Amino acid sequence: MLKIGIAEDDPKIAALLKSALEENDYQVLTVANGIDALDLFSSESFNLLIIDVMMPGLNGIQLCKHLRENTVQTPILMLTAMGTIDDKVTGLEAGADDYLVKPFHLKELLARTAALLRRQPPIEAKTDHKFYFDDLVLDTYSKEVSRGGKIIELSAKEFVLLELFMRNPNRLLSRQFIAEQAWDISFETGTNVIDVYINFLRKKIEKDFERKLIHTKINMGYILK
Amino acid sequence: MLKIGIAEDDPKIAALLKSALEENDYQVLTVANGIDALDLFSSESFNLLIIDVMMPGLNGIQLCKHLRENTVQTPILMLTAMGTIDDKVTGLEAGADDYLVKPFHLKELLARTAALLRRQPPIEAKTDHKFYFDDLVLDTYSKEVSRGGKIIELSAKEFVLLELFMRNPNRLLSRQFIAEQAWDISFETGTNVIDVYINFLRKKIEKDFERKLIHTKINMGYILK
DNA sequence: CATCCATTTTAATCTTGTTTTAAGATGAGA
DNA sequence: TCTCATCTTAAAACAAGATTAAAATGGATG
């Protein structure tokens, strides 16, 4: 069952929303202020959050920002008071996915709710943006890498580095180039991070496999081939 | 400074994007319809184009196609309305590099913008990184050399030296010139590195083959012919 | 705020191969 | 034949990269 969290300080509106949504077979939890909302929405996982902009303590915008900063990805529907047109911009900027101006018809709320929930599985639709090389697959959306069908766990930096190679197959990449692209350093530092990370990558993507993919060209750089 | 062009007919969204991007130190130019966009994007050069699909006159897909036909290679980020999932496919087919479904988080826009800008044109792969002489091929992209289809492994210095010859076929290269170009030494040192490396090269690229390619001109230098 | 854990970076060592030096051999031209 | 430039080879000097461990960093958690 799909689970919806509501942050709304007006008890009448909160009750109205709750009953309307429950009638449509959603499971609903409500909180009456921003602080409680932050606690609840951060600790439990929801399919959708409905947040009122005007709340005592922590308002909807601030709440929204905090949640996004805590990497909460749940779709957020923002409820704004009429007249505050700029709330739309601010709300979206803070990380909301849609907004609704009060007063609204319950019908519209239900429609938008359904739309947002329907939009959740677009992760499946995002099957593009994959790079293939030999039996290695790198997906820039899910940030997943696999070789021969077997998922390989990479850290952020490891992923960025491998992505660079996958975007430039059969091209020799100098350390200088790699440093600029993956580490944003253009000057000469005495570091050997790149070597270390090449080593990390090799351990993860080559160790248990037959073919080597990342080759060293001494005094030149590395090449994926 | 990196320059971004935006084609968006909704002035509010356009302003929002502009200010967000400018805050991140991009230079931004906006146009409000497809026709103007085609004019501007064709005449001035940008590092990235952000194009809304829905626009009066010329829509984003058409604009994208026209630009690509005019050999504009700039990365394009397409903005599509919610729900029109197929726009994604159409957009990418028309030549866009990425797409973003409205409404979106500014954070995500900025992330994708950065990603697209970081990505350098892999189109480079197609053009002239290859030098040919007789049956010898030198590829500056992969740093590979082959003769008669057979791969030849060269060290960095050997490669640089051969590249010098391949860039100057049928030209007599003095030791002085070679020293300056390949070793960055302009003064007279008592070294014989060049002779030694010519010998290394000959062993690798001539030993197993019929025709000699590097010829000695006593008291003058060497020539590839 | 203190602690934990994973990630990222630095540093040091070891191995390997490249680059350079040096010196004797070869060969071309006078 | 003699001389000098070039070729060849081997060894020395050097630097690059692999690898490992340890230190620093940065979130997450209580």
* pLDDT tens column, A66-80: 887 666 778 888 887
Q: Which nucleotides of D are covered by protein (CB under 7 A)?
A: 5-10, 16-21, 28
> Which chain B residues touch A93 with a CB distance below 8 Å?
16, 20, 106
Q: What is the pLDDT of residue A42?
A: 78
Q: Could you give the CA distance from residue B211 to residue B55 in angstroms, rounded to a whole number?
A: 63
pLDDT greater than 90 at residue B197: yes
| Residue pLDDT, tens place only, A107-139 | 778 877 877 776 554 333 333 467 889 999 998
Mean of pLDDT over chain A: 82
Beta strand A48-52 pairing with A76-81:
parallel
Q: What is the pLDDT of residue B80?
A: 76
A2 phi, psi to nearest 5 deg? -75, 140
Q: In this complex, is the C-beta atom of A3 within 8 Å of any C-beta atom belonging to chain B? A: no
Residues A161-179 as b/e (b if ≥16 CB within 10 A, e otherwise) read bbbbbbbbbebbbebebbb
Least confident of A24-38, A92-106, B5-19, B61-75: A92-106
Q: What percent of chain A has pLDDT over 90?
A: 32
Q: Which residues touch strand D (CB under 7 A)?
A: A 70-71, 175, 192, 195-196, 198-199, 202, 216-221; B 175, 192, 195-196, 198-199, 202, 216, 218-221
Query: What is the average pLDDT across B41-45?
Result: 85
Q: At a CB cut-off of 8 Å and minimum separation 6, what does B128 contact? A: none
Contact B105 A119 (CB under 8 A): no
| Residue pLDDT, tens place only, B154-173 | 999 999 999 999 999 999 99
Mean of pLDDT over chain B: 83
Q: What is the pLDDT of residue A58?
A: 81
Evaluate the omega torsion of the peptide bond into residue B103 and state whether it is cis, within 30 degrees of 0: yes
Q: What is the pLDDT of residue B198?
A: 95
Q: What is the pLDDT of residue A127?
A: 34
The residue among B215, B204, B221 whose CA lies nearest residue B136 is B204
Residues A96-122 as b/e (b if ≥16 CB within 10 A, e otherwise) read bbbbbbeeeeeeebeebbeebbebeee
Q: Choose between A2 and A145: higher pLDDT.
A: A145
Q: What is the pLDDT of residue A206?
A: 92
Q: In this complex, is the C-beta atom of B3 within 8 Å of any C-beta atom belonging to chain A? A: no
A6 phi, psi to nearest 5 deg? -120, 130
Q: What is the pLDDT of residue B119?
A: 59
Alpha carbon separation from B190 to A164, B94, B218 (Å, rounded): 43, 61, 18
How much of chain A is in helix, strand and coil states, percent to nearest 5? 40, 25, 35
Give B125's DSSP letter: G
